[in-house]
């Protein structure tokens, strides 16, 4: 979750949390959701596809039991996450040094996307499958590439790998739930 956290710090265009279903317990580890599949789908269609397209990262966050919240779990301290985010920012600054209109991965034009988000054959196939399975739009396709670029930057990796890409695809969970 640490990396998800740092991604959220990097760019959080929409902080609004929504209930996953009418009763609010869909995906909850402790309580059972009593909504029907149709109810869940109808509820989620109120958040339309085009709107979801404009959000970079979708993550379902199950309610955390209070004991876990206050427990002394050994997660990565925010100071370390901050360092990683700053380093990823620096990589992006260097990358876009010659294009003043682009300051970060999220703002890449389609030309910049082609230049900085090249992926290998394995990743292309993975993305093709995801596009098909999740019925993704061209815009969602580009967002996945941009988020994958950021995930690789957070690891200071020069290239986007299939692992980075599949993590970025996972962040389109709402697309998946909407269409399956």
- Residues forming contacts to Zn ion in the complex (CB under 5 A) are 21, 23, 26, 33, 35
Please report how close the Cβ of residue 133 comes to Zn ion at its closest, in angstroms.
Answer: 24
* Residue whose CB is less far from Zn ion, 33 or 162: 33
Q: Are 162 and 137 in contact, with CB atoms under 8 Å apart? A: no
Q: Which is nearer to Zn ion, 105 or 177 (CB)?
A: 177
CB of 53 to Zn ion, least distance (A): 25
The distance of closest approach from Cβ of residue 40 to Zn ion in the complex, given in angstroms and rounded to an integer, is 7
Judged by beta carbon, residue 32 or residue 121, the one nearer Zn ion is: 32
Q: Cβ contacts of residue 112 below 8 Å, gap of 6+?
A: 96, 99, 102
Find the shortest distance in angstroms from Cβ 27 to Zn ion.
9
Of 26 and 96, which has the nearer Cβ to Zn ion? 26
Query: Toward Zn ion, which CB reaches closer, 32 or 98?
Result: 32
Task: Please report how close the Cβ of residue 66 comes to Zn ion at its closest, in angstroms.
Answer: 21
The string of DSSP codes covering the chain is -HHHHHHHHH--S------SSSSS-TT-SSS-----HHHHHHHHTTS-HHHHHT-S-B---PPPPHHHHHS---PPPHHHHHHHHHHHHHHHHHHTTT-TT--SGGG--HHHHHHH----HHHHHHHHHHHHHTT--HHHHHHHHHHHHHHHHHTT-SS--HHHHHHHHHTBHHHHHHH-
């Amino acid at each position: 979750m640490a990396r998800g956290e740092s991604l959220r710090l990097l760019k959080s265009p929409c902080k609004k949390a929504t209930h996953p279903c009418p009763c609010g317990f869909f995906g909850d580890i402790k309580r059972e959701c009593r909504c029907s599949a149709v109810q869940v789908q109808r509820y989620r269609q109120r958040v339309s596809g085009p709107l979801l397209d404009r959000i970079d990262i979708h993550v379902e966050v199950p309610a955390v039991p209070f004991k876990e919240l206050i427990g002394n779990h050994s997660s990565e301290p925010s100071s370390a996450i901050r360092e990683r985010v700053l380093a990823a920012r620096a990589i992006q600054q260097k990358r876009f040094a010659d294009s003043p209109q682009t300051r970060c991965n999220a703002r890449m034009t389609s030309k910049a996307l082609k230049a900085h988000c090249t992926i290998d054959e394995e990743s292309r196939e993975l993305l093709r499958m995801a596009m098909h399975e999740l019925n993704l739009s061209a815009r969602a396709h580009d967002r996945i590439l941009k988020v994958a670029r950021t995930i690789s930057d957070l690891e200071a990796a020069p290239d986007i790998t299939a692992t980075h890409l599949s993590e970025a695809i996972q962040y389109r969970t709402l697309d998946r739930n909407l269409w399956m």
